[in-house]
Amino acid sequence: MPATDKEGLSAKFGHWTALYAAYLFLAGWAYLRHYFEVFGVDTGWLDFGLNDTIAQGFSVLFGTGWPLSVIYLFIFILSLALEVFWVNNGRKVNAGAACFLVLLFPLTFWVARCAGVKQANTDRGDKTSLPTITFAAGSCGYRGKAVYVKGESLYIYDLAYLGMDIGSTKAVPKSTNPPPVKPIACPFDLGESSEVKVPELWLMRSGDLKDVRIVHYEKEAKPWLCCADKP
């Protein structure tokens, strides 16, 4: 292969890779923005880098954002058609392809936005995929759902009392485990005396807590759905 052909192929590959990255970034940004918006958090407060956003634009395909796969596949087929079947394409074909790709940006944003909102609503409910976090503050124990963890920053949803002292909690049968008792003079007042229960997202610093734990399931995790144990 001549050197000019190699350079031309590398340039074209770089151009299309940049286009794919732009779509992945847009999808990841829209998903994260509207996911955390449901919890009342502005993504500007969070430390999301470029690589994290692009990676989210791809990983969302395996969840509520699976319709994005149709858009990504169409972009790939279009790029392949322009470079293989329409080698000597004219300005009209290039302009039409460019306009169509631009028009896909709003559609990508809308699909990713819907996916983020849908996943956030699921995580706020009983079928949440958020991990359970337990910790102690003073002599009081708490549990909640970890929405976001970065450095010492903890965003915890659905915070509830766990007991007087999380360090002394032991695994006992449910029949002998007494219901949690609200501690006295706890550092975080959850306002359980209020008649109206308002969902709250708590922002905490791990340095102010102790015995912070992420609760895992005992069931073995499977990498593929086909490998999962049937109920």
pLDDT the model gives residue 34: 94
Pairing mode, strands 153-163 and 140-150 = antiparallel
Alpha carbons 63 and 119: distance in angstroms, whole number: 8
Residue ranges of alpha helices (H) inside the chain are: 3-38, 50-59, 68-84, 91-123
pLDDT tens by residue, 43-83: 888 888 889 999 999 998 888 888 898 988 888 888 777 76
pLDDT of residue 33: 94
For residue 7, the model assigns a pLDDT of: 45
State how far the alpha carbon of 75 is from the alpha carbons of 71, 78, 81, 109, in Å. Answer: 6, 5, 10, 15
Cα 142 to the center of its chain, rounded Å: 24
Residue 176 DSSP one-character state: T
At residue 28, the pLDDT reads 94
Q: What is the pLDDT of residue 168?
A: 44
pLDDT value, residue 118: 93
Q: With left for phi above 0 and alpha for psi between -120 and 50, is residue 46 left, alpha or beta?
A: beta
- 17 SS3 class: helix
Name 38's Cβ contacts closer than 8 Å, sequence gap at least 6.
116, 117, 120, 121, 124
Strands of the sheet containing 201-205, edge to edge, are 201-205, 153-163, 140-150, 132-137, 210-215
What DSSP string runs through 90-151?
-HHHHHHHHHHHHHHHHHHHHHHHHHHHHHHHHHTSTT--SPEEEEEETTEEEEEEEEEEET
Residue ranges in the chain modelled with pLDDT below 70: 1-14, 83-94, 163-185, 191-199, 216-231
Q: Are 186 and 137 in contact (CB under 8 A)?
A: yes
d(CA 198, CA 194): 9
